[in-house]
């Protein structure tokens, strides 16, 4: 009989659900993709849970247990909040909030809380393919830790060092992004990371490496404060430090964003210095060859690139879902290990299409609603690849929707907007379509067999666009659209397992001699990646996208 574990991330943001079947990840759905509320702010993952169950054709009665990637009861106690403040977080302890009885019934499987950093660690290690590895978890905060250093042995995850929330790197980086005015409702720290490449790290920062766990020796000590109070105090200290010491000495001057370039570079460099010291400590303690990284800061592809380039560890793995939503997978795999003893998945995660897929019939049914707005026809795979490759080579922008949607925030060839990488005009077009700032880079997808011709580093760490790599000097002109100002890119190595996208890349390579495409997420500004054929059609019609391909259906505007 099949054994199912349902994993959930619940909280103020990034709610998600994952379904584990016999120790393997079969579905992973972020709530925002269903509700269309970016980051699922304030939402429990109810629809995501239902889609996971429906996708497997089961009800919650078939689930052995439910895991949650945060111990909310413990967290609410150790934060030492006021009664009024605690009331805001009390609902996360209420099972009926995220598994309401009117939807899932009165009789539920047992619900287990998995510590937040343990869930992050499991989301990386248990899907990495490594039998043993060192583990680095870095984020804003969990229950009582902001950084955890550990390792695995015989399936067990052990942390030998944890750094408290008073010394949170996530709070530091978020506060720095706020100082520039780039940080908004959806926590746009990626913009800040992109800006850092334009600057020189000339400014002194209050953050520096330290083995004694006190990372902010440049700021007054807040160790004696409660976690809740210390967050507010540290945030205030950082704001005051930046305004007193960092040009342009004022916050949010976004109209002159390049004036913050040296500041952003200095923040990024100080973060990287601390992370590299953590990695060195992990190597010294564990002596292992493999490293996995998870937590929100693991989305910092520039820092990940520096870690790989350091050569401290031979192999590095960052999952496609290192932020809080991924704790749904991590907590479920951790619970599966505890209940059934299986430590890792049989098939390591190297592709990320774990979301909802739609049939040709689903798409054709929706297309009837767009009569007079589009024309369309169906083709076989080989014809599809050749046609799309030719259109891309002629400068067309292509919306591309295939199979189940991506796990995690990066566009990975399941819900993508694609373009020819050979000209910078592609970057301009894509940033205009997405209403993105022109200084922000566009990422490349590359055939894995050709990765080393174009990029430095190991292709085996590059499946999910979360590790930056230097573009080889002799190739920069040929893929100019994806080369950032610091000569890096955030590549995705594409394997034959992702057959449709691989087929398109191969056809483009055969036509142009370039095994690379520009790949950005298929969505409009402030809206989650498209999920359904209707989402894709609406985005296609309302943006300057020339062609839409859903499955084997080619769609053009009338």
CATH number of the CATH domain containing 222 = 3.30.420.40
Pick the last residue of a domain from 289, 305, 340: 340
Measure the CA–CA gap between 425 and 544, rounded to whole angstroms. Answer: 14
Q: How confident is the model at residue 184 (pLDDT cuts 50, 70, 90)?
A: confident
Same domain? 387 vs 535? yes
**Any idea what the CATH number is for the domain that residue 390 is in?**
3.90.870.20
Q: Hey, which bits of 420-536 come out as E strands?
A: 443-447, 469-470, 488-489, 492-494, 516-521
Residues 417 and 529 both lie in one domain: yes
Q: How far apart are CA 464 and CA 447, in angstroms?
A: 13
Same structural domain for residues 297 and 330? Answer: no
Residue with tokens 């893929």: 479
Nearest Cα neighbor of 9 from 57, 37, 49 is: 49
Domain identity same for 389 and 298: no
Segment 199-208 shows an average pLDDT of: 98
Q: Is pTM, for the whole model, over 0.85?
A: yes
User: 520 and 398, same structural domain?
Assistant: yes
Q: Please tell me the total count of domains within the chain.
A: 3
Q: How would you label 201-215 residue by residue, b for 16+ Cβ within 10 Å and e otherwise?
A: bebebbbeeeeeeeb
Pair (371, 253) in one structural domain:
no
Give the pLDDT band (50/70/90) at residue 440: very high
User: Does 550 have pLDDT greater than 80?
Assistant: yes
Average pLDDT over residues 492-504: 97
Inside any domain, residue 134: no
Confidence of residue 153 (pLDDT cuts 50, 70, 90): very high
Q: Is residue 69 part of a domain?
A: yes
For residues 114-134, average pLDDT? 98
pLDDT at position 407: 96
Classify residue 349: in a domain, yes or no.
no
pLDDT at 553 (0 to 100) = 98
pLDDT at 249 over 80: yes
Distance CA 495, CA 41 (A): 34
Q: What is the mean pLDDT of residues 118-142?
A: 98
Q: Which residue range is the domain that position 92 belongs to?
A: 4-121+324-340
Q: How far apart are the first and last CA of the chain?
A: 52
Question: 232 in a domain, yes or no?
Answer: yes
State pLDDT tens for residues 39-86.
999 999 999 999 999 999 999 999 999 999 999 999 999 999 988 888
Q: What 3-state DSSP class applies to 146?
A: coil
- Which residues, 6 or more positions from 284, have their beta carbon under 8 angstroms from its beta carbon? none
pLDDT band at 186 (very low <50, low <70, confident <90, very high): confident
Phi–psi pair at 434, nearest 5 degrees: -85, -5
Helices (H), 436-558: 451-454, 499-512, 533-542
pLDDT tens-digit map of 11-29 = 999 999 999 999 999 999 9
What pLDDT, on a 0 to 100 scale, did the predictor assign at position 187? 76
What's the pLDDT band for 408 if we cut at 50, 70, 90? Answer: very high
Residue 217 shares a structural domain with residue 254? yes
Average confidence (pLDDT) over 343-365: 97
Is residue 309 one of the residues assigned to a domain?
yes
Residue 307 sits in the same domain as residue 375? no
Q: What's the Cα-to-Cα distance from 493 to each of 274, 465, 534, rounded to whole Å?
A: 28, 8, 29
Question: What token pair was written down for 51?
Answer: 């889609």
**231 shares a domain with 249:** yes
- Report whether 338 contacts 513 (CB < 8 A): no
Taking only the tens place, the pLDDT of each residue in 463-481 is 999 999 999 999 999 999 9
Give the tens place of pLDDT for each residue, 258-275: 999 999 999 999 999 999
Q: Are residues 13 and 101 in the same domain?
A: yes
C-beta of residue 114 within 8 angstroms of C-beta of residue 68: yes
Q: Is residue 152's pLDDT more than 80?
A: yes
Query: The tokens of 318 are what?
Result: 């960052």
Residue 416 lies in a domain: yes
Q: What confidence tier does 185 reach under pLDDT thresholds 50, 70, 90?
A: confident
CA distance 270 to 261: 14
Task: Return the pLDDT at 116.
Answer: 98
Q: Domain for residue 157, yes or no?
A: no
In a domain, 160, yes or no: no
At 291 the three-state DSSP class reads strand
What distances in angstroms separate CA 187 from CA 65, 174, 175, 184, 296, one per listed residue? 32, 8, 10, 5, 11
Percent of the chain residues topping a pLDDT of 70: 100
Look at residue 438 in the predicted model and tell me its pLDDT.
Answer: 92
Is the pLDDT score of 33 beyond 90? Answer: yes
Q: What average pLDDT does the structure give for the chain? A: 97
Q: Are residues 311 and 371 in the same domain?
A: no
Q: How far is CA 133 from CA 25, 286, 288, 292, 315, in A?
A: 20, 8, 6, 7, 9
Q: What is the pLDDT of residue 115?
A: 98
> What number is the average pLDDT over the span 178-192?
87
Boundary of a domain, candidates 340, 375, 391: 340
**Cβ partners under 8 Å of residue 395, min gap 6:** 420, 423, 425, 426
Average pLDDT over residues 313-317: 98
Q: Looking at the structure, tell me whether residues 493 and 381 fall in a common domain.
A: yes
């Amino acid at each position: 009989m099949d054994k199912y574990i349902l994993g959930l991330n619940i909280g103020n943001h990034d709610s998600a659900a994952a379904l584990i079947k016999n120790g393997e990840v079969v579905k992973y759905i972020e709530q925002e993709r269903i509700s269309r509320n970016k980051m699922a702010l304030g939402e429990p993952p109810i629809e995501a849970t239902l889609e996971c169950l429906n996708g497997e054709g089961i009800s919650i009665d078939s689930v052995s247990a439910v895991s949650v990637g945060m111990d909310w009861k413990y967290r609410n106690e150790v934060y030492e909040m006021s009664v009024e403040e605690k009331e805001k977080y009390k609902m996360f302890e209420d099972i009926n909030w995220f598994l309401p009885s009117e939807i899932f019934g009165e009789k539920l499987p047992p619900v287990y809380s998995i510590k937040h950093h343990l869930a992050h660690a499991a989301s990386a290690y248990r899907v990495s393919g490594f039998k043993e590895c060192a583990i680095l978890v870095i984020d804003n905060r969990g229950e009582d830790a902001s950084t955890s250093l550990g390792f695995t042995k015989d399936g067990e995850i052990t942390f030998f060092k944890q750094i408290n929330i008073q010394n949170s790197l996530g709070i530091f980086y978020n506060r720095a992004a706020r100082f520039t005015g780039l940080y908004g409702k959806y926590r746009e720290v990626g913009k800040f990371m992109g800006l850092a490449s334009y600057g020189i790290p000339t400014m002194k920062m209050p953050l520096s490496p330290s083995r004694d766990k006190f990372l902010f020796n440049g700021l007054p000590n807040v160790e004696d404060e409660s976690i809740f109070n210390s967050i507010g105090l540290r945030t205030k200290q950082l704001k005051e430090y930046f305004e007193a010491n960092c040009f342009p000495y004022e916050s949010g001057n976004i109209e002159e964003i390049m004036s913050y370039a040296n500041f952003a570079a200095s923040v990024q460099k100080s973060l990287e210095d601390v992370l590299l010291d953590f990695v060195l400590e992990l190597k010294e303690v564990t002596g292992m060859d493999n490293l996995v990284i998870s937590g929100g800061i693991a989305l910092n592809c520039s820092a990940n690139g520096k870690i790989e380039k350091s050569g401290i560890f031979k192999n590095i793995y960052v999952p496609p879902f290192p932020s809080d939503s991924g704790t749904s997978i991590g907590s479920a795999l951790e619970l599966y290990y505890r209940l059934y003893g299986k430590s890792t998945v049989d098939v390591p995660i190297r592709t990320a299409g774990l979301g909802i897929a739609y049939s040709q019939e689903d798409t054709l049914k929706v297309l009837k609603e767009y009569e007079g707005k589009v024309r369309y026809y169906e083709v076989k795979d080989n014809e599809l690849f050749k046609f799309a490759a030719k259109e891309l080579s002629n400068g067309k922008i292509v919306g591309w929707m295939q199979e189940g949607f991506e796990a995690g925030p990066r566009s990975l060839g399941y819900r993508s907007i694609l373009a020819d990488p050979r000209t910078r005009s592609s970057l301009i077009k894509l940033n205009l379509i997405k209403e993105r700032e022109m200084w922000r880079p566009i990422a490349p997808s590359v055939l894995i067999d050709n990765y080393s011709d174009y990029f430095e580093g190991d292709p085996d760490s590059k499946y999910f666009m979360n590790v930056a790599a230097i573009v080889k000097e002799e190739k920069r002109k040929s893929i100019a659209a994806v080369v950032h100002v610091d000569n890096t890119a955030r590549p995705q190595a594409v394997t034959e397992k992702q057959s449709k996208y691989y087929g398109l890349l191969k056809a483009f390579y055969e036509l142009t001699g370039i095994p690379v495409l520009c790949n950005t997420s298929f969505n409009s500004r402030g809206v989650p990646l498209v999920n359904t054929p209707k989402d894709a059609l609406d985005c296609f019609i309302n943006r300057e996208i020339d062609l839409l391909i859903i499955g084997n259906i080619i769609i053009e505007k009338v």
